Amino acid sequence: MIEVKNLVKKYGSHLAVDHLNFTVDTGQIYGFLGPNGAGKSTTMNIMTGYLGATEGEVLINGHNILEEPEAAKKCIGYLPEMPPLYTDMKVNEYLRFVAELKKIPKPERQEQIEKVMLMVKIMDVQDRLIKNLSKGYKQRVGLAQAILGFPEIIILDEPTVGLDPKQIIEIRELIRELAKEHTVILSSHILAEIQEVCDYIMIISKGKLVASDTPENLEKLLTNQQTVEILAKGNEDTVRKVIGTIGNVQKASVEHGKEEGTVKASLFPKDGKDIRETVFMAFAQEGCPLLMLYHSRTTLEDVFLELTQGSTPAAAKAMKDGEKKDWMVKRRKKNAQEEAEENELTEMDEEPEENAVPTSEDEKEDLENDSNL
């Protein structure tokens, strides 16, 4: 349905999107996850034809977004990070305008507008000027314009940003509702947001796709990194001997505990096996009491942090090779240093024309002539 091929976007010499490749199939909720500045908005703006690419192409249902914009854009509803609202218009007036731009047949317009207003819960503000609405309501009006025409694909850039917790829950419910009949792609830098609603997650960091999979599989990606930490009463030799009898242990490290007569050990299970019970029984059998047993598991948050702070596909490879932990420590230090250096660099601040929101009447007219919103 959407094919992103070898996409590159440079702002001056700054590489914002770095050879991105991915495919989006029908009927799922895709999450585009990445820290601030990762390149999510840039990618979404290119996918929706708001911005040109430096290299590569985007096909929407086989239509190249730049070469056949009308056919491609017909399939998409887009809520950019800054919703394209004409704030001097009333809500219903604006939605009528959008319906016209989207060439929704006249007899269907009012019914569709009402349906969409009901969906995003803005019926009660339909006669109000957009500029007087709260941030949450403005966001809903932005969402309404994206949904109007009920395109196959709905792309939402940070749809819940600036909303209160109740509004966030409502928007999430709406996204789930939309996903019953549409493919939804949404971006966020908040993991919980993406984890909550998405069937498939694409993690982007520094313009690169560093991982893409279901939330469950992403979590499994690092399960080899789980450890069982123990504190045993006894001496090192006994602890080493007991550990030697436990199966499915890839490696272990043993050292003196802080307390006299205690030993601390970290056990790394093979292939993510759960060895807690075996460890407990082995130490009990030897008459060597365990004072503590702690199982640390990878969460999706760990995956996100490791991948985005590790930041290159090499991170994923290293992880699979089981070298992730040491690699990450080194990489984190290096990244912190690089980030500090990068923050000192001034950004280009090039404002692409495609991204500009029209403000004057002339510009509105231009937009009207362009049949796609």
**What residues make contact with ligand ATP under the rule CB under 6 A?**
11, 14, 16, 34, 36-42, 81, 189, 347-352
Cβ-contact 128, 171 below 8 angstroms: no
How far CA 323 is from CA of 24, 270, 285, 298, 307, in Å, comes to: 31, 13, 33, 15, 14
Least distance in Å: CB of 129 to ligand ATP?
A: 27
How far CA 90 is from CA of 141, 152, 270, in Å, comes to: 10, 27, 62
- For ligand ATP, the closer of residues 16 and 218 by Cβ is 16
Tokens of 127: 């006669």
Least distance in Å: CB of 40 to ligand ATP?
A: 3
- The separation between the first and the last C-alpha atoms of the chain, rounded to the nearest angstrom, is 20
- For ligand ATP, the closer of residues 24 and 117 by Cβ is 24
- For ligand ATP, the closer of residues 31 and 34 by Cβ is 34
Cβ-contact 309, 331 below 8 angstroms: yes
Least distance in Å: CB of 324 to ligand ATP?
A: 24
- For ligand ATP, the closer of residues 39 and 269 by Cβ is 39
Separation between Cα atoms, residue 307 and residue 12, nearest integer Å: 27
Please list the residues that pair with 31 across neighbouring strands: 186, 201
Least distance in Å: CB of 175 to ligand ATP?
A: 18
- For ligand ATP, the closer of residues 24 and 46 by Cβ is 46
Three-state SS for 350? coil
Least distance in Å: CB of 267 to ligand ATP?
A: 39
Closest C-alpha among 329, 305, 339 to residue 210: 305
- For ligand ATP, the closer of residues 32 and 200 by Cβ is 32
Separation between Cα atoms, residue 297 and residue 302, nearest integer Å: 9
Cβ-contact 133, 125 below 8 angstroms: yes
Least distance in Å: CB of 43 to ligand ATP?
A: 7
Separation between Cα atoms, residue 290 and residue 316, nearest integer Å: 35
- For ligand ATP, the closer of residues 34 and 149 by Cβ is 34
Closest C-alpha among 294, 156, 290 to residue 233: 290
Least distance in Å: CB of 14 to ligand ATP?
A: 6
